A = this chain, B = another copy of it.
Amino acid sequence: MKKEKTENTENKILDAAKNIFEVKGMNGARMQEIADAAGINKAMLHYYYRSKQLLFEAVFKNAFSLLAPQLNAILNNDDSIEEKIRSFTHNYISFIAKHPYIPNFVIQELNRNPKFIEKIQQADAFPSLDKFNAQVEKEVEDGILKPIDGKQLFVHIVSLNIFPFVAKPLIKGFLKLDDKDFQELLEQRKIDVAEFIINSIKK
């Protein structure tokens, strides 16, 4: 039937485009390459998405919308800061292991065109730090945490969790690790990173 065909082709395109764009970026990706990966004619890309730019934006928004809920989870639930750090660290590293190209893709493309973040900021699920900041402030007052700024703590958390994925070749090089060693390092970090953070901030 028509409808099924349509959805199939559209999804095949988006899926192929995702794989190519996430690895090669906007500048490195070729429309012909995406068409080949999707097993269709190049003209179909334009039929469904009009231009490379629009196809790319569709892929980018998809990738970003996978990332955002992970952050929202830590920012807006009712756990204590300590629990949030533990669960986020564990979940995030597991999540990225399933989507290894997303962090680098998002960061690379946001650096290429920083205005993208403004477009996305207006979207529904864009994470807000307000609750997290207030919660840190309260736990500091209550004597649960040592004095610390919520924003800096947030940057600490995302840095420790995301950077190893973004800088994988660099870290593999410095530490002289093969792929297996690196995987084990990440596995160990699911525990170590949370301990490391909590160790530092808890009274």
Contact = CB atoms under 8 A, between A and B. Distances in A.
Contacts of A152: 185, 188-189, 192, 196
A162 to B, nearest CB: 7
A27 B23 CA distance: 13
Contacts of A24: 27, 112
A196 B107 contact: no
A46 interface: no
Contacts of A175: 129, 151, 154-155
Interface string A155-168: 11011101110111
Contacts of A140: none
A32 to B, nearest CB: 16
A112 B26 CA distance: 12
A111 interface: yes
A143 interface: no
Copies of this chain in the oligomer: 2
A138 to B, nearest CB: 19
Contacts of A77: none
A136 B164 CA distance: 20
Nearest to A67: B170
Interface in A107-160: 107-108, 110-112, 114, 116-118, 120-121, 127, 129, 146, 148-149, 151-152, 154-156, 158-160
Closest 6 CB pairs of A and B: A200-B200, A159-B163, A27-B27, A117-B173, A110-B169, A163-B163
Given A155-B171, A156-B160, 9 more contacts: A27-B28, A120-B173, A127-B174, A146-B199, A155-B164, A159-B164, A159-B167, A166-B166, A166-B167
8 contacts: A28-B112, A117-B169, A117-B170, A117-B173, A121-B173, A155-B171, A159-B167, A199-B200
